Amino acid sequence: MSDWMTPELIEDVRRVLRESLPERTAGQGRTLVEQSLGLTSYKAREVIRAIDSGEAEDVSPTFCVWDIETTGLKGDFGRLLCCSFLTLPNNEMVTYKWTDYSDSYEDDGKLAAAIRDKIEENDFSVGYFSKGFDFGFLQARLADNGERLLERHLHIDPIWYFRGWRGLKIGSSSMKNVSEFLGLDEQKMQVPKSVWIAANAGNKKALEVLVDRCESDVRVTAKIMKFALKNRMVKNIQSYP
């Protein structure tokens, strides 16, 4: 499509056509678009053609930044409490909680499957230390519940830009330290031990605190990823798990 055919212009033309009479002819629709939006006959015709042919459909890649909170570090004993997703570029945040799928936090099979499906909806995903924890824990919970495992897909784990022989040499690659080092406007949220204990016992009020932390973590992860992208630190994107 031409550079002048922006998503905003396409949506404006869609709106004008929706508001016009259903029985309009093609010529009437073009004339209405010209008059309503001040377009030339050529541009009105080309936008309508792109819409009718499907060329104007949004095919931009989508990716989700995700993070889980759990009752422990091992997938055979621990359980999933929640998972937050920040979907880009539409910047939509959603959190799945065990309370949405079960009467008990110990029964996390449906939650695990929903997390898997949400990740697979996107072209690729992003997670902080996801290769070291989140993926393995999620896969273990899926397997333990007899669910299909998460399929391989394109994934970025920004922690590796701050550790190892290729990363920035700073004191620690933890999210807390990296967010402080970069001077982000949102820092790693700290949660009291008492809240963790309560949430791990199924306390729903404590769970909401962890939801706030989980959503904060994905926002911070997104900012760290954008820093890496802006500074050309991303050399390749591999499939995982």
Domain final residue, candidates 53, 74, 91: 53
Question: What per-residue confidence (pLDDT) applies to 25?
Answer: 64
> Which of 171, 172, 173, 188 minimizes the C-alpha distance to 223?
188
Residue 49 is assigned to a structural domain of this protein: yes
CA distance readout (Å), 56 to 103, 139, 218: 45, 38, 31
Residue 165 lies in a domain: yes
- pTM, 2 dp: 0.77
The reply to whether 44 and 153 lie within a common domain is no
For 237, the 3-state DSSP assignment is coil
Query: Domain with 184 in it: what CATH number?
Result: 3.30.420.10
Task: For residue 94, list its beta bridge partners.
Answer: 85
Evaluate if residue 215 carries a pLDDT over 70: yes
**Residue 193 resides in a domain:** yes
Distance CA 239, CA 138 (A): 16
Is residue 87 helix, strand or coil? strand
pLDDT one-digit tens code per residue, 63-110: 899 999 999 999 999 999 999 999 988 889 999 999 999 999 999 999
Whether residue 191 is contained in a domain is answered as yes
In a domain, 1, yes or no: no
The string of pLDDT tens digits covering residues 106-137 is 999 999 999 999 999 999 999 999 999 999 99
Q: Are residues 194 and 216 in the same domain?
A: yes
Q: How many other C-beta atoms are found inside a 10 Å radius of the C-beta of residue 47? A: 28
What lies within 8 Å, CB to CB, of 89 at 6+ separation is: 60, 62
With respect to residue 187, please indicate whether it lies within any of the assigned structural domains.
Answer: yes
